[in-house]
Amino acid sequence: MEIVYCAGCQIRVTGVDLDQGRAFRSGDRVLCRACAPAELSAAAAKVPAPSGRPGSSTSLPKMATTRRATLPAAAPRRPGALLVGGIVGAVLLILALAALLSGRPEPAPPTPGPPPAPIPAPPRDTGQEKRRAAEWSSIESQSKQACEREEFGRAVGLLESAIRGSSDPDWNWMVNKRLTDVRIQAKTLFADLSARASTAKNKGADAEAALLAARVAAWKLPECVIVFEEKPPPAPPPVPAPAPASGPAPLVIFDERLQPGWRDWSYSTQRNFEARASGAEGRNSLGVVFERIGAGLYFHSEKLLDGTRYAALEFSCRAEGEPQSIVVTLSDEKNGSLGSVSLGKLGGHPPVGAWKRYEIPISMLHGEGRKISGFTIQAVGKVPATPVYFDKILLRPAP
């Protein structure tokens, strides 16, 4: 017996099923009634059934049958195969795109343009540079020679003249650096000589002390002056107040503030030009703290003064906390020392907690007939950390 399977649902089909119309052939395929097209089923229904007695085993006469129409083969319905095919096709498409993109060459980077032309430097005046270099070489050489001979005042004056009125920052920097080196060299040597002079004075070697003091005085530096503390002489009788005169007005240096025409060249001091000292004549007084022996309150005049036109340097002074020994020095046109005097010789050093007026004759400071550039008020002896106050500083004109 022939046994085949439906091409649609894979159910078993026998030859009996084909003969009795329960299955059909379509080309090379076999289809059950459920899977066969409607036309095939209708064509098969027109075939007459065979006659004969039921149950007879004799052969039935062969009957003419209608020829089955051959229909085109229908595609099998396989959902699983379609899904697998779709996935495989998608994968192949992705791989093809990836191969196409990976094979494409990367775009070449843009070619850089030519670099910008450098900005030409401004032309330099080599002639001026050579003149400056030669001038500086001469000034530096002269200042070094002066320092070797301990002419520190001359070296300072030379350098200050070189920088005066200059607007060249490089030139000013070189000169200021050299000026600082000269002052440091002078102050270092001054500290050593001052200590040696004080030791000699304490041992009674007055001649040696005087030689050391003269050696320093020859430098002609206002900030470097050796002054020995002396016992104050008996207080002189009070000087009567001068009668008011209609002569020239005094040259005021400090009154409530530092007056125009004067510069503060002080060194190693702390200054307060708006100090409120008890008992001062005005609102503001000048408070000064001297930081070491030899520290100075130095006021410099912007123009030289004629010593013949002034009779005395006057100021009021008051110490605070501890007594302070003071020396006053007058300076010449080269900022060198004209003469010095201790306030101990003028009625005693500034009293603590009380104001005292000092009048120092210009003749005592050796300023008669000389050009005066300023004056220095220096601390000598023991230097406490308490302030000294000054007020009403002026030069009284000669009668």
Mean pLDDT of 334-339: 90
Q: How confident is the model at residue 57 (pLDDT cuts 50, 70, 90)?
A: very low
Q: How confident is the model at residue 105 (pLDDT cuts 50, 70, 90)?
A: low
pLDDT in the model for residue 64: 40
* pLDDT for 312 beyond 50: yes
Is the domain spanning 251-397 CATH 2.40.10.10? The answer is no
What are the pLDDT digits (tens) for 175-197? 899 989 998 999 999 999 989 98
> For 44-58, 303-317, 358-372, 373-387, which range has the lowest pLDDT when averaged over its residues?
44-58
- Which of the pair, 398 or 57, is modelled with greater confidence? 398
* pLDDT for 51 beyond 60: no
> For 120-124, 161-165, 382-386, which range has the lowest pLDDT when averaged over its residues?
120-124
pLDDT in the model for residue 240: 65
- Residue 251's nearest CA partner among 198, 304, 172 is 304
Mean pLDDT of 127-147: 89
- Which of the pair, 392 or 16, is modelled with greater confidence? 392
Q: Is the pTM of this model over 0.75?
A: no
Residue type, 200: A
pLDDT in the model for residue 102: 63
What are the pLDDT digits (tens) for 199-236? 988 888 888 888 998 999 999 888 888 876 655 556 66
Q: How confident is the model at residue 104 (pLDDT cuts 50, 70, 90)?
A: low
pLDDT in the model for residue 131: 87
pLDDT in the model for residue 231: 55
What are the pLDDT digits (tens) for 245-284? 567 899 999 998 999 999 999 999 999 998 887 766 778 8
* pLDDT for 120 beyond 70: no
